[in-house]
Amino acid sequence: MSSAPLLSVRDLRVGFATEGGLLQAVDGVSFDVRPGEVLAIVGESGSGKSVTAQTIIGLTRSKNSQIEGSVKLDGEELIEADDATMRRLRGEKIGMVFQDPMSSFNPVYRLGAQIVEAIRAHQEDVGKKQARQRVVELFESVGIPDAARRVDSYPHEFSGGMRQRAMIAMALALEPEVLIADEPTTALDVTIQAQILSLLENLNRERGLATILITHDLGVVAEVADRVLVMYAGRVVEEGTLDEIFYDPQHPYTWGLMGSLTRLDRPRPHRLPQIAGSPPSLLDLPQGCPFRPRCPHEFSKCPDYPGLEARLPEAPGHRDRCWLTPEQKRQKRQVEGQIGLEAPGEVSRG
Amino acid sequence: MSNDGGNRTGALLEVTDLVKHFPVKRGILIDREVDQVRAVDGISFNVQRGETLGLVGESGSGKSTACRTVLQLIKPSSGSIKFEGRELAGLGRRAMRPLRREMQMIFQDPYASLNPRKRIGQIVGDPLKLQGVAKGSDLQRQVQELLERVGLASEHYDRFPHEFSGGQRQRIGIARALALKPKLVICDEPVSALDVSIQAQIVNLLDDLQDELGLAYLFVAHDIGVVRHISDRIAVMHDGKIVEQGTADQVCEKPQDDYTKKLLAAVPIPDPRESRERRETKV
Amino acid sequence: MLRFIVRRLFGMVLVLFVVSVIVFLIFNVIPNSPPAQRLAGKNATPTLVKGIEEEWGFDEPLPKQYLTMMKKVFNGELIQYSPRVPVGDRIKEGIPATLSLSIGAGIIWLAFGLLLGYLAAIRAGGWLDRTLTGLAVAGISIPVFLLAPVLIYFLTYKLEIFPNGGYVGLTEDPWEWLQHMILPWFTLAVLSIGFYSRVLRSNMLDVMNEDYVRTARAKGLSERKVMTRHVLRNSLIPITTLFGLDFGATIAGTAIITEVLFNIEGIGLYAAESIGKLELPPIMGITLYGAFFVVFINALVDIAYAYLDPRVRLGSTAR
């Protein structure tokens, strides 16, 4: 793992003009990704994780969107780059895998043809036969059996897992340096999910990719991530290595996420610890910390939103945005012997 | 208590050898049935009063078809479905109607299962109206009580579904299912479409309601973690058959069937150290 | 795919059979005056009526009558009685004019409808979109029987740019043919241009939000390729069906009003004359001819649809 980041995002802000006002989907997000590293961005609906990913490759550019900040790939600034540059980048430098492989492929063209299209859009001198052969090899490398025949199948003739493999093949066809996978396994069965995650991990290692994995599933994060970013209401609320986040989480939202997971390796709790309330509307955020309405540990400093800072001297890379002291955090996050947010016995109000 | 004639086990719901086949048709000019998709291929299980039976399986396992067949939303190809000892298979629509009050269903997609043109008071109250149980101000009162019971404010009576979040909509769906005071509620993936933090809320709500109202649940999902949490007993479905059945602890801690073991092994553990250990022992 | 084609053609034959039976029933069986009388028309002599009765065998059982009728149709023996001319011949004479009208108008409305629809979709919400919407609605709302006389009045009578109706064969004099066709083409096309542009615009806006369009952009395709190879390609599928129905109907003679107003001697005009004179044989003949074309073109359209959308081909087992 080299130490220079390949992709550097600094203070990214993305706003959309809507009928209800300016919706700030991403509000000051910064992170780095290095070659060979898997960065997981965790969050629920409205957290801004998908918008962040799509903004990196310029898919959110439109008259209604305001994009500020910096995204640097290999030192090249992308936010202000022109459309032609972005188009060149997509596929060649950054490959993207989306969540729903069924709707992500055009149903009227054969799968192989769609990947050939991607290849020839960037490398015009590659002939059709050559490109097709490349696709067959790609299919084999992602574990699609009977590749030579499958290349001519239509998307609806594939199972979900196979389609996702084809999607990954397409994202990597031009050998990009960065791979962004937006909820790649959410729509898949758990046995297939395991295979796809393993595939992603291998590819990441073999090719030294810088991978951004977006998900809401902490189990998936634990399997493949090196570093984790937790997002809420468009902001990063906690950032750290995998072990730091799982074993020493600093932000109440992170505690809530961990607590509400079901664990097969532990006895069943009487009640699933939960987070009260719902994810906020981005048009109507409270002053200061956006998690305040749902946080049982809210206190007088919270209306003043803290910056994303490292508050543990022994872990300079572990940053969070919560005013509680490290000792308070260690104490408050223990709920019935496990990490969680609410004491059980609370009414399940919605 | 109704006549339990033939109900040996005293179960609320007793399903025996349920089969549902879908024909696959092929042919040049005329479609002839050449094969069958055996969506549900002979399953047997029962649900006792007040208990939760979890039905877990992946896509294509037949669990959703099984739900719909039990409720007679789809006609079974063969097999017996007994509710409180009374045989449901083969009953016509009219005969089923009074029984529908006893069995209700909660659906997966909170965005698709509520009619966007109706107010939620209407949505929750419709079952009461259709079955002739209540009307007028009595109806409204009952609906408001239901809304409060599922954790919504009774003032929301006049709002439309799009004004609510996914989790709240699912609560509305639950209120609707409870309106007729059923004995059995079939939950078809009730939390899969929700954010993780909301899933826990809904699971806890279902648990509370079960304690308060003595409901029995047939809880169908692909997430074995959630199923394990809420179920007393679990049945694992694969390719149309039940491959393993037992108490939740038995099935999850001492699985007997290969498929069950495979399923459990595939669930990612949200614990990096254990996850690494597990992968190392696999290699 | 082959399976699909075979089935569709078989279906077509079946439909045509059913249509012929219905035509038979309507014309020969249902109304309560003697069929021979009706066939003979308004100015029939009793001898004529008797002759028809024998020819057509109206005293025979129904299925035999049906067979007799179908034999007459296929042998070209269907005759109108005043003047005494085989219907088949008159239809054949009218075909070139109707085809010229239909094909020309069809090309115009398809080309312009798609062009305007495409422009409106890619500039959706802008002034161009709104202008085109207004024009489209105007086009759909103006009835043919209003537009044609207005055009004729201003452009042929007052300004004398175009000839005043009539039809000149293409092989006779191409330039004259063109001049005679321009106004009728325009009249017939205006309605459909409006309609098709709206449909395409709507389809494209739906398709533009699909996930696979996002994937196409994420692959690094140029905006033009995304628009044509993905958005347009998928948006055109429903339009194929639409066009098939419309075009088939036009060839079948539903351009009656246009043909009458512009005095184009095609099948529509023939139909209008026969209706006016209450002559049954031509009406029967035209109905069968029209039905044939509509069914045939629809079968072609269905086959084209299956070619364009592979999901349709696999039928009940697509998963």
What are C47's two structure tokens?
Answer: 């001898």
Whether residue C135 is found in the same domain as residue C171: yes
Extents of the domains making up chain B: 117-180
Say whether C220 and A90 touch across the interface (CB within 8 A): yes
Strand residues in chain B grouped as ranges (E):
13-26, 32-47, 52-56, 78-83, 86-87, 103-106, 184-188, 216-221, 233-238, 241-247
Whether residue C19 is found in the same domain as residue C84: yes
For the CA atoms of B235, B238, B243, B249, what is the dihedral angle to 10 degrees? -40
Average pLDDT over residues A259-288: 84
B233 has pLDDT over 80: yes
Instruction: Give the whole-angstrom CA distance, residue A280 versus residue A293.
Output: 9
Predicted confidence (pLDDT) per residue in B130-165, tens digit: 888 888 888 989 999 999 989 888 888 889 998 888
In this prediction the pTM is 0.83
Chain B CB contacts of C6 under 8 Å are 28-29
Least confident of A229-233, C191-195, C232-236: C191-195
Eight-class DSSP state of C60: S
Among A57, A89, A108, the residue with its CB nearest the CB of C310 is: A108
Chain B CB contacts of A263 under 8 Å are 225, 269-271
State the pLDDT at residue A12. Answer: 95
What are A54's two structure tokens?
Answer: 């799509």
Residue C15's Cβ-count burial label (10 Å; 0-12, 13-18, 19+) is middle
Q: What is the DSSP secondary-structure string of B40-68?
A: EEEEEEEE-TT-EEEEE--TTSSHHHHHH
Instruction: Give the whole-angstrom CA distance, residue C159 versus residue C165.
Output: 14
State the pLDDT at residue B282. Answer: 67
Predicted confidence (pLDDT) per residue in A293-338, tens digit: 889 888 898 998 888 888 888 888 899 999 998 898 988 888 777 7
For the CA atoms of A296, A300, A306, A310, what is the dihedral angle to 10 degrees? -70
Whether residue C69 is found in the same domain as residue C110: no
Instruction: Give the whole-angstrom CA distance, residue A147 versus residue A144.
Output: 6
Q: What is the DSSP secondary-structure string of A12-35?
A: EEEEEEETTEEEEEEEEEEEEE-T
State the pLDDT at residue A349. Answer: 46
Q: How many residues does chain A have?
A: 350
Instruction: Give residues with Cβ within 8 angstroms of A69, minimum separation 6.
Output: A9, A10, A11, A12, A13, A28, A29, A79
Hey, is the C-beta of B153 within 8 angstroms of any chain A C-beta? no
Say whether A91 and C214 touch across the interface (CB within 8 A): no
How far is A24 from chain B, CA to nearest CA, in Å?
A: 19
Give me the phi and psi of B188, to 5 degrees please.
Answer: -100, 95
- CATH number, domain at C211? 1.10.3720.10
Of residues C99, C241, C116, C111, the one with CA closest to residue C184: C99
How far is C265 from chain B, CA to nearest CA, in Å?
A: 41
Q: How many residues does chain B have?
A: 283
Last residue of a domain, one of C53, C69, C88: C88
Range of the domain at C32: 2-88
What are C249's two structure tokens?
Answer: 């109907």
B122 has pLDDT over 50: yes
Instruction: Give the whole-angstrom CA distance, residue B260 versus residue B239.
Output: 12
Chain B CB contacts of C13 under 8 Å are none
Instruction: Give the whole-angstrom CA distance, residue C216 versus residue A244.
Output: 38
State the pLDDT at residue C43. Answer: 66
Q: Is residue B247 a contact partner of residue B233, using CB atoms and an 8 Å limit?
A: yes
State the pLDDT at residue C202. Answer: 93
Among C220, C233, C318, the residue with its CB nearest the CB of A92 is: C220
CA distances A115 to A90, A121, A169, B183, C213, Å, are: 13, 10, 8, 53, 14
Hey, is the C-beta of B24 within 8 angstroms of any chain C C-beta? yes
Whether residue C8 is found in the same domain as residue C42: yes
Instruction: Give the whole-angstrom CA distance, residue B202 versus residue A338.
Output: 21
The contacts found for C120-127 with CB under 8 angstroms, 24 or more apart, are C120/C197, C120/C201, C121/C200, C121/C201, C121/C204, C121/C205, C121/C208, C122/C204, C122/C227, C124/C201, C124/C205
Left (φ > 0), alpha (ψ -120 to 50) or beta: where does C56 sit?
alpha
Say whether C311 and A107 touch across the interface (CB within 8 A): yes
Taking CA–CA distances from A156, the nearest residue in chain C reads C319
Chain A CB contacts of C237 under 8 Å are 108
Say whether B222 and A219 touch across the interface (CB within 8 A): no
Chain B CB contacts of A220 under 8 Å are 268
Whether residue C228 is found in the same domain as residue C184: yes
Hey, is the C-beta of B3 within 8 angstroms of any chain A C-beta? no
Say whether A156 and C225 touch across the interface (CB within 8 A): no
State the pLDDT at residue A273. Answer: 80
Instruction: Give the whole-angstrom CA distance, residue B64 versus residue B20.
Output: 11
For helices C174-208 and C233-249, the axis angle rounded to 10 degrees is 140
The contacts found for B262-265 with CB under 8 angstroms, 24 or more apart, are B262/A191, B263/A190, B263/A191, B263/B56, B263/B58, B263/B224, B263/B236, B264/A264, B264/B224, B265/A194
Chain C CB contacts of B25 under 8 Å are 315-316
Domains of chain A: 1-83+208-350 (3.40.50.300)
Say whether A100 and C211 touch across the interface (CB within 8 A): yes
Among A223, A259, A264, the residue with its CB nearest the CB of B225 is: A264
Whether residue C115 is found in the same domain as residue C81: no
For A184-201, b where at least 16 C-beta lie within 10 A, e where not — what string?
Answer: bbebbbbebbbbbbebbb
Chain C CB contacts of B29 under 8 Å are 6-7, 10
Q: Is residue B269 a contact partner of residue A265, using CB atoms and an 8 Å limit?
A: yes
Say whether C219 and A121 touch across the interface (CB within 8 A): yes
Last residue of a domain, one of C71, C88, C105: C88
Predicted confidence (pLDDT) per residue in B9-29, tens digit: 578 999 999 999 988 777 666
Q: Which residues of A touch C (CB under 8 A)?
A: 57, 59, 83, 87-92, 96, 98, 100, 103-108, 117-118, 121-122, 154, 156-157, 167, 170
Q: Which helix (H) or strand (E) holds B148?
A: helix B136-149
How far is B29 from chain C, CA to nearest CA, in Å?
A: 5
Predicted confidence (pLDDT) per residue in C266-300, tens digit: 888 888 888 887 777 788 888 888 888 888 888 88
Left (φ > 0), alpha (ψ -120 to 50) or beta: where does A279 sit?
beta
Of residues C78, C75, C77, C66, the one with CA closest to residue C24: C66
For A57-67, b where at least 16 C-beta lie within 10 A, e where not — what string?
Answer: bbbbeeeeeeb
Hey, is the C-beta of B25 within 8 angstroms of any chain C C-beta? yes
Q: Is residue B217 a contact partner of residue B183, using CB atoms and an 8 Å limit?
A: no
Give this complex's ipTM: 0.82
Instruction: Give residues with Cβ within 8 angstroms of C149, minimum separation 6.
Output: C261
Among A87, A100, A105, the residue with its CB nearest the CB of C220 is: A87
C313 has pLDDT over 80: no
Among C211, C218, C221, the residue with its CB nearest the CB of A103 is: C211
Among A87, A105, A156, the residue with its CB nearest the CB of C215 is: A105
How far is C131 from chain A, CA to nearest CA, in Å?
A: 21
Q: Which amino acid is at B58?
A: E
Q: Is residue C101 a contact partner of residue C188, using CB atoms and an 8 Å limit?
A: yes
Whether residue C119 is found in the same domain as residue C202: yes
Whether residue C61 is found in the same domain as residue C106: no
Q: With bands split at pLDDT 50, 70 and 90, how would you rate the model's confidence at B7?
A: very low
Among B25, B28, B29, the residue with its CB nearest the CB of C316 is: B25
What are C245's two structure tokens?
Answer: 């129905």
Q: What is the DSSP secondary-structure string of C75-140?
A: TT--EEETTEEEHHHHHHHHHHHHHHHHHHHHHHHHHHHHHHHHHHHHTTTSHHHHHHHHHHHHHH
State the pLDDT at residue B28. Answer: 64
Instruction: Give the whole-angstrom CA distance, residue B73 versus residue B131.
Output: 17
A171 has pLDDT over 90: yes
Q: For chain B, which chains pass the contact test of at least 3 CB pairs under 8 Å?
A: A, C
Whether residue C190 is found in the same domain as residue C43: no
Chain C CB contacts of B24 under 8 Å are 316-317
Hey, is the C-beta of B29 within 8 angstroms of any chain C C-beta? yes
Give me the phi and psi of C145, to 5 degrees please.
Answer: -75, -5
For the CA atoms of A316, A322, A326, A330, what is the dihedral angle to 10 degrees? -120
Chain B CB contacts of A190 under 8 Å are 58, 222-224, 263, 266-267
B2 has pLDDT over 60: no
How far is B3 from chain A, CA to nearest CA, in Å?
A: 36
Whether residue C79 is found in the same domain as residue C156: no
Number of B to C CB contacts under 8 A, please give it: 10
Instruction: Give the whole-angstrom CA distance, residue C217 versus residue C223.
Output: 7
Among A87, A91, A170, the residue with its CB nearest the CB of C222 is: A87
Instruction: Give the whole-angstrom CA distance, residue C269 versus residue C101.
Output: 12
Say whether C316 and B29 touch across the interface (CB within 8 A): no
Whether residue C178 is found in the same domain as residue C248: yes
Q: Is residue A115 a contact partner of residue A200, using CB atoms and an 8 Å limit?
A: no
Instruction: Give the whole-angstrom CA distance, residue A140 versus residue C34.
Output: 77
State the pLDDT at residue C93. Answer: 85
Instruction: Give the whole-angstrom CA distance, residue A178 versus residue A6.
Output: 8
Q: C-contacting residues of B 159-178, CB under 8 Å?
A: none
Given the DSSP bridges, would you call strands A210-215 and A38-42 parallel, antiparallel or unpaired?
Answer: parallel
Last residue of a domain, one of C55, C88, C121: C88
What are C145's two structure tokens?
Answer: 């029987």
Say whether A117 and C211 touch across the interface (CB within 8 A): no
Given the DSSP bridges, would you call strands A338-339 and A334-335 parallel, antiparallel or unpaired?
Answer: antiparallel
Say whether B28 and C317 touch across the interface (CB within 8 A): no
Chain A CB contacts of C212 under 8 Å are 103-107
State the pLDDT at residue B54. Answer: 95
Q: What is the CA radius of gyration of chain A?
A: 21
Say whether A222 and B271 touch across the interface (CB within 8 A): yes
Instruction: Give the whole-angstrom CA distance, residue B65 versus residue B42.
Output: 12
Instruction: Give the whole-angstrom CA distance, residue C233 versus residue C216.
Output: 13
Among B198, B264, B272, the residue with its CB nearest the CB of A246 is: B272
A165 has pLDDT over 60: yes
Q: A-contacting residues of B 195-224, CB under 8 Å?
A: 195-205, 207-208, 222-224
Instruction: Give residues with Cβ within 8 angstroms of C234, minimum separation 6.
Output: A106, A107, A108, C203, C207, C210
Q: C-contacting residues of B 105-144, CB under 8 Å?
A: none
Predicted confidence (pLDDT) per residue in C35-71, tens digit: 666 666 666 677 777 777 777 777 777 788 788 777 7
Q: How many domains does chain C have?
A: 2
C167 has pLDDT over 70: yes
